[in-house]
């Protein structure tokens, strides 16, 4: 999943978006804790390697240094993951106020569709309904015009 799609909260309600942000923030916190634990373990193995070297136990130095190298890579990986999660959380938090404001706005297209369905119409057929209304108005005004002409003739003919 691309980074944009992963952090794009559009289309979610404010509550759903806040839940997504909370999940990412929780993952970020767990990653920070794992990084701290890996650093402590790395420091422990560095001390063990130094102690083995100091005591002249060369057979223990190489495995201890290998463990330090392994833990250094793990710390680097966790740091990269932490940085990525942190950036995602920041981007998502920036969207929350917009979603909160958007929740108060009205989706006019949705409202039109709902009103059309409530009136017994089919959503998307608004153009047909508008054309029918226009035709009714024209026919109604043509009928009114004809009635007005008839009245004028009666008045002119009768006077």
Task: Give the model's pLDDT for residue 10.
Answer: 84
pTM: predicted TM-score of the whole model, two decimal places: 0.58
**Tens digit of pLDDT for each residue in 141-151?**
777 778 878 88
* Position 82 pLDDT exceeds 90: yes
Task: Give the model's pLDDT for residue 4.
Answer: 63
Name the nearest CA neighbour of 123 among 111, 106, 105.
111
- Contact predicate 87/4, CB 8 Å: no
Q: What is the DSSP letter of 105?
A: S
**Tens digit of pLDDT for each residue in 88-118?**
999 999 988 888 886 666 667 777 777 777 7
Q: What is the DSSP letter of 11?
A: T
Residue 112 or 51, more confident: 51
């Amino acid at each position: 999943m691309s980074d944009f799609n992963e952090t794009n909260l559009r289309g979610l309600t404010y509550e759903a978006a806040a839940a997504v942000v909370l999940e990412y923030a929780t993952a970020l916190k767990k990653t920070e804790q794992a990084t701290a634990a890996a650093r402590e373990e790395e420091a422990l193995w560095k001390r063990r390697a130094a102690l083995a070297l100091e005591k002249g136990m060369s057979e223990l130095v190489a495995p201890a240094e290998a463990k330090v190298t392994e833990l250094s890579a793990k710390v680097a990986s966790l740091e990269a993951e932490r940085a990525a999660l942190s950036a995602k959380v920041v981007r998502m938090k920036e969207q929350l106020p917009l979603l909160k404001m958007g929740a108060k706005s009205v989706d006019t297209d949705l409202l039109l569709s709902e009103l059309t369905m409530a009136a017994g119409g089919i959503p998307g057929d608004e153009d047909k309904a508008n054309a029918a209304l226009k035709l009714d108005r024209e026919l109604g005004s043509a009928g009114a015009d004809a009635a007005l002409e008839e009245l004028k003739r009666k008045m002119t003919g009768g006077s």
